[in-house]
Amino acid sequence: MAKQKVLVTGGTGYIGSHTVVELIENGYEVEILDNLYNSKIGVLDIIEKLTGVRPKFYEVDLRDTEGLARVFAKNHYDGVIHFAGLKAVAESVEKPLEYYENNVGGTINLLECMQAYGVKNLIFSSSATVYGEQGEEQCVEDMPTGRALTNPYGRTKYFIEEILKDVCVSDPEFHAVILRYFNPIGAHSSGLLGEDPNDKPNNLMPIVMKVAAGEISELSIYGNDYPTPDGTCMRDYIHVVDLARGHVCALEKIGREQIQVYNLGTGQATSVLEIIKAFSKASGVALPHRVVERRPGDLAIICANAEKAKTELDWEAKLTVEDAIRDTLNYLEHQDA
Ligand code: NAD
Ligand code: UFG
């Protein structure tokens, strides 16, 4: 796709904001739509500081069909990158309807608007969670999905992927790229942009940050009796800036096929204990931790096979877990300042 105008839903959120920076730096005109449920308006100031451009912002909820239509009526977008959604796995078990309404309902509204206003290109934030338990070391894009999913959040991602396939069948001019993220961590190298949720953090790295800042007394390691070298779970941690770059590559290649699916990961898995050691080494401070019960639904290892994105999108992760930890610490220092 030529460098044109893109709407980014969820663009003030963690992955969305880093992607907006990369898009602007690559010459795209970007507008953001977000309801600010899990992000702050101040992110726009940071984007402006980093890029010199302040993207137009619409405080709109995807469930507000009229508000959404007003945004599409005012603009012609060449494509949409769709990050907006709820993402807390445990909360999705407690509030499944909220997750289906927000994630699936919100996406249907977005697709209807895109149809009504003739917008034919969509990039969707999916997740490695759609693979469920495969019994293989690495997940490959053509493996079956949607089996043995343990929570409604994961099912929303799976259902949306299936909806996108159906929309592609119904409209031969519609193009979708499904990006399955593994575990995004890290922050922008400036230290200005990072993960700053309004909600209580659920993921490992934001919790590690809170322990390092003394806001949480210790890190609970969810089990050390998994079939991994040190007994703790292993994940494919990917630097958020690498992930953001992946979206720019996907936009450049959208439309080669009607529906394209890619893993965005590094192909390397790191254990919880290795993360703790790397964090302590980089910060020079021991991170208090304690092994507790396994967390229900956790798998021993989740790791990407990232070959397809390398071959077809010309994208691969360049940054390491150590880079991500360094950038996270830098972000933490800027937050304190
Ligand atoms: P985030 O919470 O930081 O960003 C999501 C943004 O969407 C937030 O700014 C939130 O306010 C907004 N939003 C939520 N519901 C909305 C609605 N109905 N209308 C308008 N805006 C709404 O999350 P993130 O980590 O940046 O994740 C972005 C996407 O990537 C999500 O779809 C998430 O499920 C997916 N994903 C994230 C991870 C991860 O570990 N962070 C892993 C795999 C997939
Ligand atoms: N962990 C701990 N203690 C904590 C938090 C996490 O030991 O306090 C462990 C978990 O057991 C897991 C690892 O750290 O082994 C990573 O946990 P996260 O919650 O950060 O991430 P998950 O792998 O469980 O899930 C994340 C996203 C999902 C996405 C999935 C894809 O939250 O949205 O990655 O792999 F689907």
Going by CA atoms, what residue is nearest to atom 19 of ligand 1? Answer: 61
- The minimum-distance atom of ligand 1 relative to the CA of 84 is 7
- Residue to probe by mutation, ligand 1, list 83, 98, 151, most atoms within 8 Å of CB: 83
pLDDT, greater one: 136 or 151: 151
Q: State the closest ligand 2 atom to the C-alpha of 207, by its place in the atom list counted from 1.
A: 8
| Residue of 14, 28, 153, 226 marked catalytic | 153
Question: How many helices (H) and strands (E) in the chain?
Answer: 12, 14
Tell me which ligand sits closest to the C-alpha of residue 7. 1
φ/ψ (deg, to 5) at 328: -65, -45
Each residue's pLDDT tens digit, 304-327: 999 999 999 999 999 999 999 999
- Gap from CA of 125 to ligand 1 centroid (Å): 8
Centre of ligand 2 to C-alpha 1, Å, is 34
Judged by its nearest atom, the ligand closest to the C-alpha of residue 204 is 2
14 vs 1, which has greater pLDDT?
14
Check if the beta carbon of residue 321 is closer than 8 Å to that of residue 278. Answer: yes
State which ligand 1 atom lies nearest to the alpha carbon of 36: 11
Q: Which tens digit of pLDDT belongs to each residue from 217-264?
A: 999 999 999 999 999 999 999 999 999 999 999 999 999 999 999 999
Q: How far is the CA of 315 from the centre of ligand 2 (A)?
A: 24
Provide the pLDDT for residue 197: 76
Which candidate, 4, 9, 37, places its Cα nearest to that of 111? 9
Give the mean model confidence (pLDDT) for residues 169-179: 98
Q: How far is Cα 68 from Cα 109, in angstroms, rounded to an integer? A: 8
> What pLDDT score does 222 carry?
97
pLDDT of residue 278: 96
Q: Does 153 participate in catalysis according to the annotation?
A: yes
Per-residue pLDDT band for 335 (boundaries 50, 70, 90) equals confident
Ligand 2: atom nearest CA of 233 is 15
Ligand 1, atom 21, lies closest to the CA of: 34
For the chain, what percent of residues have pLDDT higher than 70?
99
Task: Determine the distance separating the centroid of ligand 2 and the alpha carbon of 186, expressed in angstroms.
Answer: 14
- The phi-psi region of residue 231 (left if phi > 0; otherwise alpha if psi is between -120 and 50; otherwise beta) is left
Which ligand ends up closest to the CA of 235? 2
pTM for the model stands at 0.97
Q: What separation in Å is there between the alpha carbon of 204 and the centre of ligand 2?
A: 6
Q: Residue ranges of the alpha helices (H) in 237-286?
A: 240-253, 272-283
Q: What are phi and psi of 178, to 5 degrees?
A: -100, 120
What order do you get walking across the sheet with 79-82 strand by strand?
56-59, 29-34, 5-9, 79-82, 121-127, 175-181, 259-264
pLDDT at residue 121 in the model? 98
- Residues 319/12/210/290 CA torsion (nearest 10 deg): -70
What integer is the mean pLDDT of 184-200?
91
Arithmetic mean of pLDDT over the chain: 95
The label of the residue with tokens 């409209």 reads: 171
Q: What is the predicted pLDDT for the residue at 41?
A: 98
Residue 83 CA to ligand 1 centre (angstroms): 5
Report which bound ligand comes closest to the CA of 296: 2
Question: Whose alpha carbon is nearest atom 26 of ligand 2?
Answer: 183
pLDDT at 1 over 60: no
Best probe residue, ligand 1, of 20, 33, 37 (max atoms within 8 Å of C-beta): 37
d(CA 258, CA 202): 35
pLDDT value at position 264? 98
pLDDT greater than 90 at residue 150: no
Instruction: Encode pLDDT of 70-100 as tens digits.
Output: 999 999 999 999 999 999 998 999 999 999 9
Q: What is the pLDDT of residue 3?
A: 59
Percent of the chain residues topping a pLDDT of 90: 91
pLDDT tens, residue by residue, 104-132: 999 999 999 999 999 999 999 999 999 99
Q: Is the pLDDT of residue 60 over 60?
A: yes
Alpha carbon nearest to ligand 2 atom 5, residue: 204
Which residue type sits at 285? V
Ligand 2 atom nearest to CA at 234 = 15
Nearest to 110 by CA among 148, 152, 142, 82: 82
Instruction: For residue 229, report the distance from its CA to the centre of ligand 1, in Å.
Output: 32
For residue 337, pLDDT over 90 is answered with: no
